[in-house]
Amino acid sequence: MLNSTAPSFTLEESDEGRVLRLSGDWTVATINQLDAQLRAVSGDVPECLDVSALGRLDTSGAFLIDRTLREKGAAWPPRILGEHASVESLLEQVHAHAEPAPPAEKRDTGLLALLERTGKGSVDFIKETQASLAFLGETLVTVARLAVQPWKLRWTSIVSVMEEAGLNAMPIIAFLSFFVGLVIAFIGATLLSDFGLEVFTVQLIGFAVLREFGVVLTGIVLAGRTNSSFTAQIGSMKMRQEIDAMQTLGLKPMDVIVAPRVLAMLVMTPVLTFVATVSGIAGGMAVCWGTLDIAPAVFLEQMREAVTLDQFWVGMSKSPVFGLVVALIACRQGLQVGGSVQSLGKATTTSVVQAIFAIIVIDALFAIFYMEMGI
């Protein structure tokens, strides 16, 4: 094994101008210590390279030299002083495949920077909305086509997703909804008791759980649990090129991957919402029985008289929309994963955030719509 000479450099002024003098062996085994040193060099732009003392050189060393020249804004090709067997050819090779040096980072302060970030965020939001609506249209067309050709549906996949995303999520949704019902009942009983109206706690629980909390809590749990699972599954398939293999075999990812998940969520989200609603009412009933001495039979009778059935259907009508939104966002983000683990993590995070944001916004739009309708 050949002995290596430690690489070094100096930036000097001479009769030839500003010279970057190189010495030692600039190879992959020796240049690791030079990277930070070259980045830390501040001063004038080198006008030529002195390679008289340069030893061995490979593409790694040539890349480091080329990057330094590009970052300093030196003219290309550089003027070479001294003789070396391969420096010119290697510099030409790496320069031909090198990306432009990134611009210096600007300080992100002031009103203009704030306006710039706001503008970029707005444009990104509009583009993301357009892409999501386009994916929604493509999904609806796919589901409609499969509905008229049911023999093409992958029933095994649909049932599997229904079990994974629906039945397996039922215990945690029921558990959380029960305690949310407890919290609502405690707050209502405490506040209304100050006015001697604690009997109206039953109506508060009925309206809150049937109309809002049951379906919203279900949507948020699905956004955190099922949405991230879908995105990670599809993203892993994308990273392992399984989706490319499907397309090579003539299979459509929309039929094989997206449609089963969308259909399963459309079926299971109303079921989970119903379970969440019943659990929330059970939690409120437990508080009313324990603190207000309202027996379960009396509680249910008061709720039946005070809370109309349309409040139940208001909450249930939102559930298929929330299920569709969760499945669409998860599948779309999963299909956008690249070939790196970082892109998978970013897509999963983006998927969960977008799903929760969409659920809250859509719930607000539903509230405005039903308020205008007088329901």
Least confident range of 221-235, 332-346, 353-367: 332-346
Secondary structure (3-state) at 239:
helix
- Tell me the mean pLDDT in the region 37-65: 73
The residue behind tokens 């094994």 is 1
Q: Which of 8-17, 87-96, 108-117, 355-364 has the highest mean pLDDT?
A: 355-364
Task: List, for residues 268-281, the tens digit of each pLDDT value.
Answer: 999 999 999 999 98
Question: How far apart are alpha carbons 177 and 186 in whole angstroms?
Answer: 14
- Give me the domains of the chain, ranges plus CATH numbers: 8-96 (3.30.750.24), 138-372 (no CATH)
Residue 214 in contact with residue 280, Cβ under 8 Å?
yes
Tokens of 80: 């070479």
Burial class (CB within 10 angstroms; exposed 0-12, middle 13-18, buried 19+) of 213: buried
Question: How far apart are alpha carbons 162 and 143 in whole angstroms?
Answer: 16
Phi, psi of 154 (to 5 degrees): -95, 85
Percent over 90 (pLDDT), the chain: 7
Task: List, for residues 278-294, the tens digit of each pLDDT value.
Answer: 999 888 888 888 877 77
- Tell me the mean pLDDT in the region 245-266: 85
Residue 100: asked if its preceding bond is cis (omega within 30°), the reply is no
Residue 209 in contact with residue 312, Cβ under 8 Å?
no
Residue 38 in contact with residue 68, Cβ under 8 Å?
yes
Q: Which one-letter DSSP state was computed for residue 83?
A: -
